[in-house]
Structures are given as C-alpha cells and as structure tokens.
Structure 1
Amino acid sequence: MLNQERLSLEPILLKTETSGLADEEDCGRSVSLEELRSAHTSKQAWVSVDGVVHDLTKFRAQHPGGSDFISMSAGKDVSKLFDTYHGLRQRRILRKYGIGKLIGQDLPTFPPADDFWLTLRQRVDEHFELAKIDRKHSPNTLRRYALTVLVICCLYWMQWTLMSPSWSFYSISVAYGVALAQYCVSAIHDGSHGAIGRDPRLWKLLLIGHDCFNGCSSTLWIYQHVMSHHIFPNIDGFDTDIETAKIGFRRIKSTQKYFDFYRLQALYAPILYVLLACSVRMDDFIFYFTKRRGPLTVNPFTLSQDVVFWGGKLFFVLTRIILPLSLWGASMTRVIAAFFLTDFTFSIVLATIFQATHVVDSAAFPRINPKTGNIDTDWARIQVETAQDYAHDQPLTTLFSGSLNYQVVHHLFPTVAQEHIPALGPIVRQTAKEFGVKYEVKDSLWSAVGGHIGLLRMLGTPPSSH
C-alpha cells in the first residue's frame, strides 16, 4: 500500500519539484546560448535542463551512467533526454549543480506532461512494483547476447577455415549478415539505452561490437538514435533518422522538394536499402570531422571514444578483408563477394525492422509551431502517434526484432529490458484508448512494411501544384 501511495504521488511531486527547481535557481547568473554551447570540453561540461544551466564538470566522473554520456551531452539542452532516463531522485541531485538561467532557447520545448503520460507512467511503475521485477534485469537477454556473439564467431570461422563449396560459402555469408543484424537489434540497441543491467561498463562493452563487428561508430549512433530520434521522432529538422539531402534518393516527408524520379521510389528505394551499412560507415567520417550530426554538435571525442572509433574501423577491415586474404589465402573474388553479400543482408534486415516503425503512412510527422518555435503536443503523445507497432501476438517476430515490434512501448520506456517490453503493450494500448491517443498496431511485419511502401507511394505521387 505504501509503495502504491508513493507511485501515485510521484507525478505530482515531480511537477512541483521541477517547478521549484527552476524558481529556486532563477536567482543565479544569466548564461547565454553561446556560453552553453562552448562548454563541451574535457575541462568544462555544462548542460541545460528546463532553462536552468548546470555545471556537471566535477560530476562527470561520478555519473552512474558513465562519464561518456555527460561528455556527449555537454553544451546542449538535454531537458527531455534527462526526463526520459531520470526520475525525481536525480532531479534532486541535479539541483546541486545549477549555476544560472539560460538566456535564449537551444531546442524546441514540449508542453508539460498531460494526464495520459502521468497515468501511463504510474501504471507501468505499478506493474513492475507489483510483479517485483527490475525493469533492467534480464538474464535471458544476456544469454541471447552471448549466443549471438557465439554464432557470429562460429559463422566467421566456418566461412574462412572450411573453404566450403560456393553454395554453402555464400549461404554462410547470408547467415552471418542475419546474425550481425540480430546483435544490432539486441545488444547494441539495449546498450545505447542502458536498458540492460545498471553497469555502464556492460553497456560500453555491448556497444563496442557495433564498431568492431559492423564497422559503424557506436558513439555517433548514440547521437543519432538516443539524443535525436528518441527525443524528436519524425520532427523535421530535429530527428536525424528522417534527415535528407536536398536531392535525396527518396522522398519520405512532405517538406522535401518533389522530383519526377520519385514516382518510382516505392520500387527502387527498398532495393537501395542494401547500401545502408556502407552509407553509415562513410557518414561516420563526415560526422567525425565536421563535428555535426544533423542538428546536434558532435563534441570532441574522449580518448576512449577515439580508441573505439579508430580501433573498430581497423578491426572491421582486418577481419572482413585482410585476414581472409592473408591468413586463409581466400581469393579476392570470394572475399569481396562475401563482404557485400553479408553487408547487403545485414542492411536489408535492419532496414526492414526500422523503416516499418516510423517511416510509414499511418505515422504522424509533427510540425514546429512557427510562431513559438516549440511543439504544441505533449512528448508522450508524440511518441505514440509517430510510430506503429506490429505482430504483438507473434513471439518469433518479437524475438527477431529485439522487441522493436513494440516500437511505441520502447519509445515511451527506452530503459526497459527487451524481455519485459511485451508485457507493457496492453497497458499502453488501454491507456491510449482511454485518453484518445491514436495507437497503431499492425497484424504482422509485412503489413507494417506495407505501411512504409504506402508512404513511398503517397509521397512519390506528384503534388497537385507540381
């Protein structure tokens, strides 16, 4: 009873505490946007939360989530990012580090949490409390990581030591790509959200696999996925997942200029998704040297981040190209063919899982209010309305996708281990229904993919003014 009382009071306390925090620290000095943005060095780490600037330089080494997350957040407004991963206790700790009020606005803001979000969060807290489950504890998920790594290593060894006939050699290449994709949707994804265990050393270990196995930067992935997409899903200019070039190969939002070749994008775009991994690796170097990732400044890499970035690239080239050629004496033809077959498979599996969740015809693409520069819809409602779930009654799809077929649930509660996510689906669905929030759940993966193709067709149709 006491626990339920505490849970029911926490949303009210959080509102009061947040308001009090800003009021209490308004008396501090004024901090300009330029000052905040420049405070992202090894000697200075400032962040803004709800208009209050905090100096976390000394706290960085003590941060339970690891110092790297402070280093990456430094110089930025992290209001919603903080709320997503922290609670009332962390708010109280944050008070100690306030140094003044931010003059100006770095990012669009959301209105205060409404009754939908407060009710939903309370119900989910009660679910874990009553079931006596730690939302981050999942031995089954850890076993899955270990099994996936074992499969990856075994497939790699089989491919280059057995020198199988062509049909089995290339079959192993395909299986290798599928296994790498599984590591992405499970270990890498969970590590980036701190959604497994409470030790940041585990999260970092899991993330290193992205650099070494896939040749893609885990640090830049966090900027893209955790600090951008999860905070501003489908919001043009702030969600790096829907960032497009002036003349992109596809049109996925109405704000893009239309070109005649988009008429066929529903046919050719899914084929080009095989180049996803190659594109990410090339972009890594661009973002690393330009210090930009969409709307976000990429802060100077720490020594450990640099070691992982460059060491991962070297390990990837060494294991995928150099060792097969030099150590096992494989022909260049086989090495190149295996590389691209694995890469294409890896890319298609990930593109299928990710494109079927947000870039679909049933998802909202919220706009910034041009008068205020802010967002008029509550953050939690946006998380629900900009995504779609699928195949809730298909355990194999849930396993295959790393529970990302519960995309809405994951966006609302990103720190929950994937094993526990399906149990939250009915809670979210019922609460959304009560508060009139549109919650889209497709019957299967293929109907969800159909929503993506539908969006490509819709936006590939010439606008009436064209």
Structure 2
Amino acid sequence: MKAPNGLAHPGVPLECASSESGLALIPLKELRKACTHNKAWVSIGGTVYDLTKFIHQHPGGQDFILLAAGKDVTKIFEAYHGQKQHHNLQIFRMGLLAGQDVPSFPPPDNFSLTLKRRVNDHFRLLKADPKQSPGTRRRYFLTALGIWILYGLQWLLPLNSFWVFYLVSVAHGTALSQYCLTAVHDGSHGAIGRNPVLWKLLLMGHDFFVGTSSTLWTYQHVMSHHIFTNVDGFDADIETSEVEFRRIKESQKYFCFYQLQSIYSPLLYVLLGCTVRIEDLLYYFTSRRGPLKVNPFTFQQNIIFWGGKLFFLMTRIFLPLFWGVPLSRVISAFFVADFTLSIILALIFQATHVVDIAAFPQVNSKTGNIDVDWARLQVETAQDYGHDQPLTTFFSGSLNYQVVHHLFPYVAQEHLPAVAKIVRQTAKEYGVKYEIKDNLWAAIGGHIGLLKLLGTPPHSD
C-alpha cells in the first residue's frame, strides 16, 4: 500500500485491504486503538490520518490531538479549520476508514457555507483576530484573584459574623461559577489567544479550584456535546440512566414522580458539583464518558487529575481545620459555595439546550446518520437570550450567545455579539429557525417548560 507521497506508510496494518482508489481501508477497530501519544490517528471526512509525528508541531498544542486520537473528528476539524489546514493535512493521510459507529452528517449546505464565508470576511475586513480579547484575559485574572480573596476572607471573619460569613461563601461560589463559565470554557475551546499553555493553565482551574476534571469535561463538552448536540445516545450532556431523577427526552421511560420534576429538579441541581466529582472517578477508571471512549491519560493529565483533587480537598477542608476553624464552619462554607456554584452552572447550561423549543435530532434508523446539516443543527438545538444586555452577557460568560458559540467555538467572547448579527441575518435568509429569548429568566423558563412537558403522563392510545 502506497502513501500519498508514493512511499509505503509504516503505520498501515498489514491486514488492511485496498479501496478502489488505491488507498488502504483502515478498519474501525484499528482507528479506535490508535489513541495514544505513540500512535495517534484520526478520521476526518472518512479519511484516516496519522498525526503521531505532528503532535508536538500542532499549533493548537498536543492536548487537542490526544483528545481526538482514535475518533472521527470531522465536524470539530471543520469548525476550527479551513481549506488551507485541510490541504496541509494530506501529507499525513493513511487511507480510508472502513466502518463507522457514530453518525455522520451531510456535506455543508448553502446556509453553512455562506455563514462561514461571511464571518471570515467580517474578521478579515476588520483586520481582527477572532481569538484575541485583552479584556477577557483581565477578567480571568480578576476572577481568580477574587476567588482566593473570598476564600481567605471566610476564615478571617469572627465566629459570630453569621450572615456575613454566608454571604461571603455565596460570593465565593459565584466567583467560582464565573471562572468556569469564562476561563475554563474558553480554555477548552482554545477561544482566547493562540497559546496552548494559556489554555491549559485556564483549564487547570477546573481541577484545582473546583475539584472536577478538566480533561473529562473537555471530552464531554468538546468531543461529544459540540459535535452531536442534543442527539440522543451521542451527546454526553443529555445522557441518562435507566431510572433518572428527571425526564428530558421522550426516549426515557416514564415514572409517575416526573409529574413534580419541574419543582424538585432545579432544587437538586445544587448537587451538580458533588455529583461530577464522584462521576470523575467512575469515568477515569472505566475510560468512558457516556457514549465516548476516554483515551489513556498521559502522565501530565494524571498529575493534574489527582493533584487537582488533592489540592481541592486540602484547601477546602483540611487547611481550614489545620488553622483551627471549627468543623461546622468548614462544612458550611464548603456546601454553601458549592451549592451556589452548582445551581448557577446547571441553570445556565440547561437554559441553552435542554429547553422546550430546542430540537432533539433523530438518527436515521436506516442509514445510521443524521440527515440535518451540522450548522443547521447547531442553530436549531439551542436558544440564545438577552442579546444586547451587557449584564446578562457578563454573568453568563457570553453563553447567552450559545448558537453563535456552537457555530464558531474558536471565537473569543467579546466578538460573539457582532457575529450574532451575521448569524441572525443569514439564518433569516435561508429559513433557519434561530430562537432568541428576551432574557435569562425567559431562557430558564424554557427549561422549566420542558420539564413540565415531559413530566406529563404520556397518553396511551
């Protein structure tokens, strides 16, 4: 078997057959096994590429390739790259992928192509880098500084300062949520600057400040949710067990207690942080994140995973006890801050996709693929809210421009409002339904509406 340069590709297994084009047919199982630092293959548009030697040359850093290794990353690649990068990729081509176990999408339609061209033209005419945002960087720093000031202030307050103590704990949890909505989220997408070291440092706050794994969250968010948004069985964000505390999809079995889920579910969202920390251990040891295979952790990823959890426990529990803070006060501060963090994150995340007007695309039962263009899917599976409301944009970490973010995940927060105008106009021209709620409360109302709708007993024929 010959590589594109005419030489035998050393990475092609001997058992691989040949296609009519003369390229090797790479079995799906071989792709799935090539998921380590020593053997990193990816599939893009049905073609398999060996990126092992490119890992350390990748301008976006090695972490993204290590996350993508062994997987079909067609839509992620297309969302972040253009024709130039696709052309440069061809020197790493190995062959064609034989088989699939995840849905594919149809080729980009006119809406998708027009929108991408217009947004690229927008930044080119402005001579602006879509990834640069000095103001956002300052916000990261001030938020992190605020986290540690509030953390220390909790333990310096007199023991009789009951209400002030709890207000500081609430503020601490709010600051943590802001860090997650901005620094962690932007770092996971490389949506700030062009330095992979910066992205990694921002992401590490998820491990060390919050005690939850940034690596596992990036698998869930970037490698699953952003590709298969609201697609049952493939979007880890809407993964459910056989008996779940809430019903958010019609495919879930109905239980009578769901009639009250619009009341109790938001209350249970305060447990998000604790739940994720426990699930981290499950996903780490099973090498699964919902429907997605988790690649073997590198030495550095292991250090961050376990070091983050140890640091979190030391600073939030053991260090205050060492300073002589009463156990009741330590536990109270922990849960008040964590409940605040959790409820803010849960409601903002749920208000963008798990809502009554969002689409939940179905996989074609005959082809195993999705019949909707990927860009259209991103628009129709989300809702925006509070456009041109600076306070809402600030508090939500610009996730009120969720549709825009999904279409252009590499764009820094401060540019999203301008891009939203282009998306809105293009969607109108092509008849794509683009939902924008008036404010955050209306968006949360859409989530409550879905809980009410799916909490209603199904009608039997």
1:450 aligns with 2:445: yes
Matched, 1:441 2:451: no
Give the Cα–Cα distance (whole angstroms) in 1 for the partners of residues 350 and 434 of structure 2.
17
CA distance in 2, matches of 1:68, 1:162: 42
Structure 1 residue 256 and structure 2 residue 252: aligned? yes
Aligned amino acid, residue 174 of structure 2: V
What is the aligned partner in structure 1 of residue 219 from structure 2? 223
Instruction: Give the whole-Å Cα distance in 2 for the aligned partners of 1:25 and 1:446.
Output: 56
Query: 1:339 is matched by which residue type in structure 2?
Result: F
2:148 aligned with 1:156, yes or no?
no
- The residue identity in structure 1 corresponding to 2:190 is G
Distance 1:42 1:433 in 2: 45
Q: Deviation of residue 393 (structure 1)? A: 2.5
Cross-structure match for 1:336: 331
Do 1:360 and 1:455's aligned partners in 2 also have CA atoms closer than 8 Å? yes
Q: How does 1:369-448 map to 2 (within 5 A)?
A: 369-448=364-443
Q: Alignment partner of 1:45: what SS?
A: strand
What's the counterpart of residue 144 of structure 1? 139
Residue matched to 2:201: 205
Query: Which residue pairs with 2:276 in the alignment?
Result: 280
The equivalent residue for 2:304 is 308
Deviation at 1:42, TM superposition (A): 2.9
- Aligned counterparts of 1:346 and 1:43: Cα–Cα separation in 2: 38
The match for 1:126 is: 121
Instruction: Determine what percentage of the aligned residue pairs are the same residue.
Output: 66
2:169 corresponds to 1:173? yes
Counterparts of 1:74 and 1:26, CA distance in 2: 25
TM-fit CA distance, 1:320: 0.2
Amino acid at match of 2:60: G
Matches of 1:258 and 1:109, distance apart in 2: 30
* CA deviation after TM superposition for structure 1 residue 65, in Å: 1.2
Query: Where does residue 17 of structure 1 map in the other structure?
Result: none
Size of the aligned set, in residue pairs, is 443
* Distance (whole Å) between structure 1 residues aligned to residue 248 and residue 442 of structure 2: 18
Give the alignment partner of residue 243 of structure 1, picking from 205, 228, 239.
Answer: 239
**One-letter code of the match for 2:223?**
M
How far residue 25 of structure 1 moved from its aligned partner, in angstroms, is 10
TM score, norm. by length of structure 2: 0.94
1: CA distance between counterparts of 2:390 and 2:21?
A: 51
Match of 2:263 among 267, 274, 285: 267
Bigger mean CA offset, 84-93 vs 166-175: 84-93
User: Shift of the alpha carbon at 1:184?
Assistant: 0.5
Return the alpha-carbon distance in structure 1 between the equivalents of residues 384 and 215 of structure 2. 27
Structure 1 CA distance for aligned equivalents of residues 234 and 460 of structure 2: 27
| Distance in 2 separating the partners of 1:42 and 1:52 | 20
Amino acid at match of 2:215: T
**Structure-1 separation of matches of 2:143 and 2:54:** 36
Give 1:320's aligned residue.
Answer: 316
* Structure 2: distance between partners of 1:25 and 1:41: 30
Give 4+ residue runs of structure 1 displaced > 6 Å after superposition.
Answer: none
Partner SS state of residue 437, structure 1:
coil
Q: Is the 8 A contact 2:388 2:417 kept in 1?
A: no
Task: Determine if the alignment matches structure 1 residue 36 to structure 2 residue 31.
Answer: yes
Whether the 8 Å CA contact 1:55–1:97 is kept in 2: the answer is yes
Would the alpha carbon gap of residues 26 and 324 (structure 1) be closer, same or farther in structure 2, given more than 3 Å must change? Answer: farther
Deviation digits for residues 196-238 of structure 1 (CA, Å, limit 9, x no counterpart): 0001000000000000000000000110000100111100000
Identify the residue that residue 295 of structure 2 maps to in structure 1.
299
RMSD, matched Cα: 1.3
5+ residue gaps, structure 2: 1-18
Structure 2 counterpart SS, 1:221: helix
- The answer to whether the Cα contact below 8 Å between 1:48 and 1:79 also exists between their aligned partners in 2 is yes
TM-score, normalising length: structure 1: 0.93
The offset of 1:41, in angstroms, is 2.4
| Equivalent residues of 1:361, 1:452 under 8 A apart | yes
Amino acid at match of 1:287: Y
| Distance in 2 (alpha carbons) for counterparts of 1:262 and 1:162 | 43
Indicate the SS of the match to 2:49. strand
* 1:251-279 CA-partner distances (Å, limit 9, x unpaired): 00101010001000000000000001111
Q: Distance in 2 between matches of 1:293 and 1:27?
A: 36
Between the aligned partners of 1:100 and 1:74, the Cα distance in structure 2 is: 16
1:26 Cα offset (Å): 4.1
